[in-house]
A and B are shown apart, each in its own frame.
Chain A
Amino acid sequence: MLRLEKRPNPSQAWGYLAPILAVITTMIGGGVMFALLGKDPFEAIRTIFYDPLFSEFAWYYRPQLLIKGAPLILIAIGLSMGFRAGIWNIGAEGQYIIGAICGAGAALSVYPLDSVFIFPVMILFGAIGGFAWAMIPAILKTKFGTNEILVSLMLVYVAEQLLASMSLGLMKNPEGFGFPGSRNLQQYASAHNAELWTGTAIHMGVVFALISVIFAYIMLARHQMGFHIRLTGESPKAAKFAGVNPNKLVIYCLGFSGALAGLAGMFEVAGPSGQISIDFNVGYGFTAIIVAFLGRLNPFGIMLAGLLMALTYIGGEIAQSSLGLPSAAIQALQGMLLFFLLALDMLTNFKIKLAKAEVRI
């Protein structure tokens, strides 16, 4: 029989190895899944993980990596702070939607005014929108001890309904021939989150994602708040004795992740998506949870994990058109990745030992 023995300290080597092994096992597991669906497993895995980077049309797909990766990284960086301290914001999807509504709302309310101040104001409103939406679970948690997991998640469905209401009502394009959806911000120069350098797909959101990674790193490594977050995660009791205020931590972690999710939504609506519409949100807020874990809750890890997850999104789209793979297959694959990662994580904290057979009477 096998026996688990707790390591005195988590193994650093396995900390790095587990995510890599998880990706490899997911490729195998995903291959089996696709084979069961009647697709060629090697073809499918190659299309998803290799083609977007190195195929004939890679020049088109590579910039897409940044477009899809930026919101994932932005959201996951925020989530990772809370996850470290055991504060579970899983309603990032809702904060993303509200950020987009507030950001777009700021622009649409002054349309067609032309000013350089519009875009910065939109960024501010996007962040405030996401922040405010995240403050609902945060304040309920600190004031009444309400479970933040359930409240933040419920608010996703509320936000989705609000999004539907906005795209059918208040924000509907008056010149849209009755179609649902707002004016397209890509055609409103002052509000457009355009590429900073042509052909690179680097828009303001990508820049913010990079800044957030560096900010989070400094925060965790150098700032007292980061220390409190890490301390609470590793030993809540020690944190209590050290005088960490848990309420402050809840407000900070939820607020920070909400603001980043709101920013991600705002950059998306002003750039790649262009308009508020019923199907504006595509699940970045949920996928970011996987990104945060795959990146080991480490800012630079999250950056790599975000790009990898963006890769599977793009690869999934290619596989959908070339192999007829259902679009939801990628979601299942991403879920599978998290399973393997969580399973392999055991090796970071435990040693596997061969145990002698127990005495039986």
Chain B
Amino acid sequence: MKKPHHHDNHWSDMQLRVKTLESLLIEKGYVDADALDVIIETYVSQIGPRNGAHVVAKAWIDLDYFDRLRNDATAAIAELGYGSRQGEHMQIVENRPGIHNLVVCTLCSCYPWSVLGLPPVWYKSAPYRSRAVIEPRSVLSEFGLELANETKVVVWDSTSEMRYLVIPERPQDTGGWAEDRLAGLVTRDSMIGTGLALSPTEAST
């Protein structure tokens, strides 16, 4: 009888390096295996741009809340149950007629995890990190966003201590809409500044 053929296992160098650290750190009691699972589960399925959309939609319909966001965004965001263990401060930046805000982290990938989840691949890429500051209009046009010439673009460089959340302008023809329905217009990119909130027509297609 022929011996069964074994396909060899293979781990990439990355798998090997991570498993090495993970097994040692757990054994020595520096981290807890269950805590690692909870962290992954939380960031994969619970924390994401819907949190930020909730904040934005509430600001659009509740002016007192908007003022609290302006005064202390960290606290106002925590009111909705979105906190951070990394200890950073949140600041909102408001788009207005003639002013468009864009957020970047030029050094690494600082990003408001508690309201947007983990950053998309392009946010972490070298071209975005360098070009968002030097030529923001070109970057925006690559995202399909053409701003009027007279609109001023303000670029905010995030740090480990300070993270920014763009409050996009409320779309036209949404008077009387409830918070949940408004939140459906708030995209992740509109809260980074590489997009605008969707119009009711765009949202229904």
| Chain A partners chain B | no
Q: Which residues of A contact B (CB under 8 A)?
A: none
Q: Which residues of B contact A (CB under 8 A)?
A: none
